[in-house]
Amino acid sequence: MALDCALSQPDRVAGLILLAPGVRGAPAPELDRDTQRFSDLIDQAIAAGDLDEINWLETWLWLGGPGSAEGRVGGEARRLTLEMNAIVLRHDVPHDLERSPAADAWQRLGEVVAPTIVACGELDLPLQLAQSRGIADRVPRAVHQVLPGMAHLANVEQPRAIANLVLESTARA
C-alpha cells in the first residue's frame, strides 16, 4: 500500500521504510524446500478447516522463519502474533495482492522518487529476501538492509530494533 501511495501521489511521500514488503504485480516466486513444506501443511489444514492448525503453522512460518525450529520466538511476541493472526483467519481476510487497481506496481518501481529503505529479516522466507532485494534494485533511491536474527514479522519480534531503524532513517532526512 505504501508503494501504491508513493506511485500515485509522490508529492505526499517524503520517504519509505518497507519491511519485507509484498509488491503488486511481482513475478510469482519459486518456493524453497522449507517454505514448500509449510505451504503444503497449511493447504492441508485449510482443506480440513482447522483454523487453529493454520494459525500455529502461519505463526511458525512468519514469526520464526521457515528454516527455524518451532517456537524460536516465544513470549509476548508469539502470543500477540497468534492472537492477531487468529482474528485475520476468523474474518477470512484476502491476501491476494493482485486484487488492487495498482496491480502493475512491480513494473513501476523505477518511478518511486522517495528515498526508500527495504528491510527484510535474515530468517524470512528466501523468496521474501529475494523480492526485497529486487525491490531495492528497482527503486532508484533505495537501500536494502537485512535484519540480523529476525524473520518476517521483525516489527513484532524486535520492535525496538525496528523503531531504531525508523528513527535513524528520519534523522538522515
pLDDT, tens digit, 9 for 90 and up, residues 6-15: 999 999 999 9
End-to-end CA distance of the chain: 22
Q: What is the pLDDT of residue 95?
A: 59
**Residues 115, 57: Cα–Cα separation, whole Å:** 35
Statement: 2-28+98-172 belongs to CATH 3.30.360.10: no
The DSSP symbol for 115 reads -
**Residues 55, 52: Cα–Cα separation, whole Å:** 5
Q: Where are the domains of the chain?
A: 2-28+98-172, 33-90
* Confidence tier at 171 by pLDDT (50, 70, 90): confident
The rounded Cα 3 to chain-centroid distance in angstroms is: 13
Among residues 1, 33, 2, 35, the alpha carbon closest in space to that of 17 is found at 2
pLDDT tens, position by position, 77-104:
999 999 999 999 999 766 554 455 556 8
Among residues 173, 100, 109, the alpha carbon closest in space to that of 118 is found at 109
Q: What is the pLDDT of residue 169?
A: 85
**Residues 50, 145: Cα–Cα separation, whole Å:** 36
pLDDT tens, position by position, 22-74:
898 888 889 999 999 999 999 999 999 999 999 999 999 999 999 999 999 99
